[in-house]
Structure 1
Amino acid sequence: MSLADVLRQVASGWLKAKNEPFTNHPIAKLVRQDLIESIKAALGEVHTKYLLKSSPGAGNWADVPWLAILNPKLTTSTQSGVYPVYLFRADGTGVYLSLCFGTTELRQKFGTNGAKEKAAELRDEIRKRDKRLSSWNEFIDLRANTALGRSYEWASAGAKFYDIENIPHDNELCEDIKELIQIYANMNVKQKSIKMPNHVQASSLPKPFILLAGISGTGKTRFIREQAKLTGSIKETYCLTSVRPDWHEPSDLLGYVSRLSGRAEYVVTDVLKFIVKAWIELKQAGLTLQGSEVVGDQNQQQQVKPFWLCLDEMNLAPVEQYFADYLSVLETRQWGWDGDSFNYRCDPLLKPNLLENIDNKDKLKSDLGLDGCDDLWQHFLENGIGIPFNLIVAGTVNMDETTHGFSRKVIDRALTFDFGEFFPNDFNAFFEPNSEPKALSYPVFTDGRNKAELSDTHDSDGALSIGFLTQVNAILDNTPFKLAYRALNELLLTVMIQKPEDVIGLQAVWDDFLMCKVLPRIEGDIDKLTKVDSEPNILEQLSGLLNLLLAEIWDTEVRPDLFQKSAKGGSVLTIECRSKAKLEWMNSQLKNGFTSFWP
């Protein structure tokens, strides 16, 4: 069937179809299958570089059916980015071929009115980039009846309209789509070149694996979701996975090889798809894959959005078992910087020999969302699938009779937040919050011995932090809670990231480090927490020491909050010393026979 015939049949039958059952309707089939095949034929071999998506609706009829032509190196979603698209009028009187940009992400960030203003800026910039668009209509009228349909109308940088009574022959239709594809390709549309709306300034985490511990209902899962919205979008950069109590193998998270059909086929999980999606984001930013390394510059790195993987109720299953592969590979991440240039490498979660032994590699490639990403797929075949540097794994944790505890292997590799202490629920501020979380992002350093980064902090050579941790570790000596190099490295990384300018700022870093890395390790009864019968217990010894080491903030409310800001203007919040209150609480629990960090 010719392209003209398909366009005509969809448009002419649309109004009638919308009043008929959706399932198995021939018009829906035309949009989903015949239209895609006709566009592939019109583009010829060029179509292999693009991902074609179409929709007559999802379960119910859409107001405006569409077919989008996406460059998977730039975007795999119609919710963001720029792409050519066919948009049918809601009343069936015709169809537009438009250079469109996704509105969902804009509306999530700026609201409808703000998104329209940003869209106008994008339209002007895109049209300036290629004079050929001057012969294309600047505005479109889809006669839409829904907010989503109407949003397409203000998200076009150029369009041509084909009236149902006068749809051109295939020759003209093919010339138009090929011209628009050329404009699309020549623009090299990336965030860097198209100046999509700037993302919120985000603070790097020292580790891309965090645990949010707290009682049920405090907003831990919502916090992760909101972080994804601040720096990206729910659709693109957030994945919620509910942990099942029967998970015991890494395959529960990352997938497995099945031979039920007699052939080796890989069963893909949503988590693995999301990890690959984060890798695609690196390619979209223009980063280069060289052997097992990702190579680029600071400008490119800053275009890469964090991808938030939320493992809800993470400890319903034994974390050490189903999460073993990630915990091991996490420590192999390496960042290297030379001026503004960087390289990143990481051992694979899925090794290349596993991928090589899959019989139907094309199916696996498609299941992973890698159609049109041949170079990334080849990278995976040669090097395996590692942890992309923009992936942040955030687990929500409840400690009760239905959940499992954490070994120190897990705690050592994570950044643990007592959610109620860092992001407290203030009932009096329920309607008008006084504070809001800062936007967080992935780490860009793995080596705390970077004296160039330390040089512009209050601890310019790291000596103060080393001295602090040495004294804390002296109390923990000859106990299971003693700290090692990993803890020191992460303390120095935190100093590099937070860049404290004075002694109060540095002590705030130490205070939060105690909360996130030291105190979560400590648990047990009085015998376990007392080294010699005549000595005070470890918690009491730590309190006495920290009263001196954190003297500027111990009994005051002057330390800055490193993870929240004022909801009124974003100014710095000052809070009480967190570790003092936590040590007092843990010590009171110990008097009842047993204590731990977990609320």
Structure 2
Amino acid sequence: MLPEALSNIFRAKQKSYKMVLILSIIELYQRTHSYQASIDQIAQKFLAYFQQESEAGNTVDTPPEQKASGWNEFTLSQTKGLLKTPIEALSAILNFDQANQTLTLVNPEWFNEETLKELKEYAMEELNKYNKKLELSREQPSFSLHNALSQIMNTYLQAKTEPFTQHPLGILVRKTIPNKLMDLLSLGNEYLIEGSTGKGKWADIPWIAVMDRRITKTTQRGEYIVYLFSIDMKAVYLTLAQGVKNPPKDGYTKKYEYLKKKTDEIRNLIPLEGLHKDENIFLTDRSGLGRDYQVSTVAYIKYERDDLPEDDELIQDLRNLVSNYNQYVDIVLHSREELTSDKEPNPVTLTVKEQLEQVKRYIHHKGFLYPDGLLENFYLSLKSKPFVILAGVSGTGKTKLVKLFAEALGATMDNGQFTLIPVRPDWSDPSDLLGYKDLAGIFRPGRLTEVLVEASKRENKDKPYFICLDEMNLARVEYYFSDILSVMETQEWNSDRIITSPLIGSESLREEDQPLYGGVSLPDNVYVIGTVNMDETTHPFSKKVLDRANTIEFNYINLEQYPDYVEEEGFASPAVNNLFLRSDYLQLSDVYSTYQDLVHSTTDKLVRINDILEEIHSHVGFRIRDSICFYMVYNQRFDLMPHDKAFDGQLLQKILPRIQGSSLSVKRVLLQLMQEALGKSIPIKDLLDDASDLYGKYGRKQQDGDVKYPLSARKIAFMLRRLEEDGFTSYWLS
């Protein structure tokens, strides 16, 4: 039976590239018996498959259209570039050595005859199923959104001069396009898609709307997605809009003022990345519904008739807007639940920054003070990945931070949304967290599984659940936590939810236990925070753990902090929707088009740092690159910290924990990183003998104001001092 880490690697597939990549690696290993294969060798095998299958007349994926018309014209260099995407998608099971340009499976134990045989059969089965599906789709006439929108814009004005009843263009808008979009988007029964060219006579502005029945069944009220065509048919707008009929009687007296206020509220609730959020949509210069539509539009993308994108881009834009719409619907439904309960409703119009200020006030009110920027950092770390480590000396408030942060968001021990699990030194496998089968075969769930089952219930999916693993390194984290770490890397989008591979397989359970525990996975509303005290009684962390977590340090303590007396009134902890914390991005492609400059500038910094880290084999891969980019994007999007302060935190939390040792190479790396942290040159050769000037100057709490990354500089100074005084250094030494 395949190891769990390999059993679901093709679960999400847009093309056949992942299957062919794995088959190429296996074939090379079976031929050479070498664990490592060069990218050149793999690219040759990969390209040969597509060329041979194409020449044989078999159905396979075509190469990127802009690169070549067929695989015989595709070059080896282009193939190596193409492989970056499937390699990144399989980063949980593949190690890519950038320096040597080699690729291998991360676990040497997988290189055995039985496992490779099963993996090859699995890849072949998935590849054959994919190619058969591809062949069927090519045989059947396909629907083109590009062609449909183009047909409307090119023929609508002429159609308006012709009889309205049973006109083919009306049938296209009212029936064909809605039906095809339902299939294309795989929408559930809660959705309704309608199109209109008018009632009894041609409308000036035809439309096609996507509505969630739970908040609206008509374009006259509520919020929905809609394609709106300009009156001159020179453009079509993909929009998130709101109904323009019947604003509430107790709302603004002027309809446009009411619509504008509602528009601003919605824009503050959801990302709307890649969409315009201004008033520059132009449908008509006439009064009436066309003008109303312009005012009521929350966000939009404009497509010119003569420059209409191809289907891939049109569909990607539509899926992006559906994802945003789903988030908004979740917020509306959650708000309705609050309004009908005994709780005070949570104001849904607060920005992330404002919500974090509420969290800070709540924690301060409870008598706890944390350094400036810590709460923002903690939030961004959880938003980037639902696993965070809080490290430092005992008694600094690590566990309390988790508890108070959760309480400030409405998650408490009493309602089951906050769970404290003390780690025991004798934990040696996942059964202590997940559970085990007793001698009678009855499954006895662990505490973590009990929380996952509760969090997965339909009525709880919008509530955040916090699990605090207290002193998690009293036992070896890799022993008891490895299954959870592996499953975290299987996150993928399923409609508007993030799903993972199961932690507990149904086939291993009794029939009576399967309904409750079979297929339990890690839902997107669960956040795991580990607290660690680094001393001689604890275990160090492996890079597998560090790669998947932000490590926030609590070693610098200011004892001269005192709580302010605050009146009790007004400090209830409001429940928030899980969207406040849940990741919006799982792959770099989710943010690249919108934040391309930020991604490039962040990656450029990491490339320089990687060049330094290569000397001690501590350089980072795609997983850390993506995580840091997500952190920086969230920070910019929510306007939480200055850019350099945010990157300083990531350098401190994602890079420095990887460094330890006693060699001269480690010291040289630390000095080069200090140079990056200071933002200016230092005499590295001279400092290799004695770096006391550095840690004397930059190891203090108060540093010169011209330090680019002061937190990282202070930590590096501390690590240099330990190296010179003790002959060994590590991020984790307290």
TM-score with structure 2 length normalisation?
0.42
Q: SS at 1:393's partner residue?
A: strand
Matched, 1:583 2:716: yes
Choose which of 322, 329, 351 in structure 1 pairs with 2:480: 322
Give the drift of 1:343: 3.5
Structure 1 residue 477 displacement after superposition: 1.3
Query: 2:564 is matched with which residue: 408, 432, 444?
Result: 432
The aligned residue for residue 258 of structure 1 is: 438
Pair 1:466 & 2:603 matched: yes
Q: Which residue among 466, 469, 483 is the counterpart of 2:620? A: 483
Residue 512 of structure 1 and its aligned partner are, at CA, apart by 0.7
Quick one: which of 462, 469, 493 aligns to 1:311?
Answer: 469
Query: How many angstroms apart in 1 are the aligned matches of 2:604 and 2:638?
Result: 18
Asked whether the 8 Å contact 1:207–1:443 carries over to 2, the reply is yes
Count of matched residue pairs: 335
Give the CA deviation at 1:211. 0.7
Change (3 A) 1:265 1:499: same
Question: Is structure 2 residue 351 aligned with structure 1 residue 198?
Answer: no
Q: Which runs of 5+ in 2 are unaligned?
A: 1-331, 348-353, 357-378, 567-575, 683-701
Paired residue for 1:229?
407
CA distance, structure 1, for counterparts of residue 680 and residue 523 of structure 2? 38
Q: Distance in 1 between matches of 2:618 and 2:704?
A: 26
Q: 1:433 to 1:335 in 2, by over 3 A?
A: farther
Relative distance call for 1:358 and 1:329 in structure 2 (3 A) is same
Q: 1:276 to 1:554 in 2, by over 3 A?
A: farther
Matches within 5 A, 1:390-409: 390-409=525-544
- State how far apart, in whole Å, the 2-side matches of 1:431 and 1:444 are: 35
Structure 2: which amino acid aligns with 1:331? E
| Matched residue SS, 1:201 | helix
The amino acid that maps onto 2:505 is K
Matched with 1:58 is none
Shift of 1:432: 3.3
**Higher share in helix:** 2
What's the counterpart of residue 542 of structure 1?
673
- Structure 1 or 2: more strand by fraction: 1
Whole-angstrom distance in 2 between the partners of 1:332 and 1:550: 42
**Aligned residue in 2 for 1:245:** 425
Alignment-derived partner of residue 17 in structure 1: none
SS at match of 1:529: helix
Deviation at 1:476, TM superposition (A): 0.7
- The reply on whether 1:448 has 2:588 as its aligned counterpart is yes
2:271 counterpart residue number: none
Contact 1:454 1:496 in 2 (8 A): no
Find the aligned partners of 1:503 and 1:400 in 2 and give their Cα distance: 33
Q: Deviations over 1:159-217 (max 9, x none)?
A: xxxxxxxxxxxxxxxxxxxxxxxxxxxxx995544435327835452111111101010
| Distance in structure 1 (CA, Å) of the matches to 2:388 and 2:452 | 17
Give the distance between the partners of 1:556 and 1:451, measured in 2 at CA: 33
Q: Distance in 2 between matches of 1:501 and 1:233?
A: 23
Letter in 1 for 2:678: N
**1:385 to 2:533 alignment:** no
Q: How far 1:396 sits from its partner (Å)? A: 0.7
Aligned residue in 2 for 1:522: 659
Instruction: Measure the CA separation in 1 of the matches of 2:482 and 2:651.
Output: 25
Q: Deviations over 1:222-262 (max 9, x none)?
A: 11111110112312210001111100011111101112x3x
Distance 1:211 1:433 in 2: 31
The share of aligned pairs that are identical, in percent, is 32
SS of alignment partner, residue 437 of structure 2: strand
Shift of residue 479 of structure 1?
1.9
Q: Is the 1:451–1:461 Cα contact (8 Å) retained in structure 2? A: no
Q: Which amino acid aligns with 1:400?
A: D
Instruction: Tell whether the 8 Å contact from 2:502 to 2:521 is kept in structure 1 after alignment.
Output: yes
Q: For residues 20-49 of structure 1, what are the alpha-carbon distances to aligned partners after superposition, in whole Å with 9 as ceiling and x for unaligned?
A: xxxxxxxxxxxxxxxxxxxxxxxxxxxxxx
Aligned partners of 1:487, 1:433: CA distance in 2, in Å?
42
> What letter is aligned with 1:479?
I
| Rounded Cα–Cα distance in structure 1 between residues aligned with 2:425 and 2:599 | 43
SS of aligned partner of 2:555: helix
Q: Which residue of 1 aligns with 2:500?
A: 346
CA contact (8 A) 1:250 1:325 kept: yes
State the secondary structure of the residue aligned to 2:729. Answer: coil
Deviation at 1:326, TM superposition (A): 0.6
**Alpha carbons of 1:193 and 1:265: their partners in 2 closer, same or farther (altered >3 Å)?**
same
Counterpart contact for 1:543–1:583, Cα < 8 Å: yes
Would you say the 8 A contact 1:335–1:445 is kept in 2?
Answer: no
> Structure 1 residues 194 and 546 mapped into 2: Cα distance closer, same or farther (>3 Å)?
closer
2:487 counterpart SS class: helix
Q: Which amino acid aligns with 2:547?
A: D
SS at match of 2:661: coil
| Highest RCO, 1 vs 2 (Cα 8 Å, sep ≥ 6) | 1
Return the alpha-carbon distance in structure 1 between the equivalents of residues 666 and 535 of structure 2.
22
User: Which residue is 1:419 aligned to?
Assistant: 554
Q: Aligned match of 1:493 in 630, 635, 656?
A: 630
Change (3 A) 1:501 1:221: closer
1:276-287 → structure 2 map (5 Å cutoff) = 276-280=453-457, 283-284=458-459
Matched, 1:267 2:405: no
Change (3 A) 1:452 1:489: closer
Instruction: Show CA shifts across 1:327-381 (max 9, x none).
Output: 1111111247xxxx62422111111212xx31533xx76xxxxxxxxxxx5xx64
Alignment RMSD = 3.4
CA spacing shift, 1:582–1:189, aligned 2, 3 Å: closer
Aligned residue for 2:584, secondary structure, equals coil
Contact 1:451/1:460, CA 8 A, preserved across alignment: no
State the match for 1:26 in structure 2.
none
1:65-116 CA distance string (max 9 Å, x none): xxxxxxxxxxxxxxxxxxxxxxxxxxxxxxxxxxxxxxxxxxxxxxxxxxxx
CA distance in 1, matches of 2:493, 2:448: 24
Amino acid at match of 2:562: F
Take 1:499 and 1:582, find their aligned partners in 2: how far apart are those partners? 25
Tell me if structure 1 keeps the 8 A contact 2:588–2:626.
yes
The 1:346–1:433 alpha-carbon spacing in structure 2 relative to 1, beyond 3 Å, is: farther
User: SS at the partner of 2:560?
Assistant: helix
Work out the CA distance in 2 between the residues paired with 1:501 and 1:273. 34
The separation in 2 between residues aligned to 1:222 and 1:427, in whole angstroms, is 16
C-alpha separation between the residues in 1 aligned to 2:582 and 2:543? 23
Q: Hey, what's the Cα distance between the residues in 2 that align with 1:244 and 1:226?
A: 23
SS at match of 1:252: helix
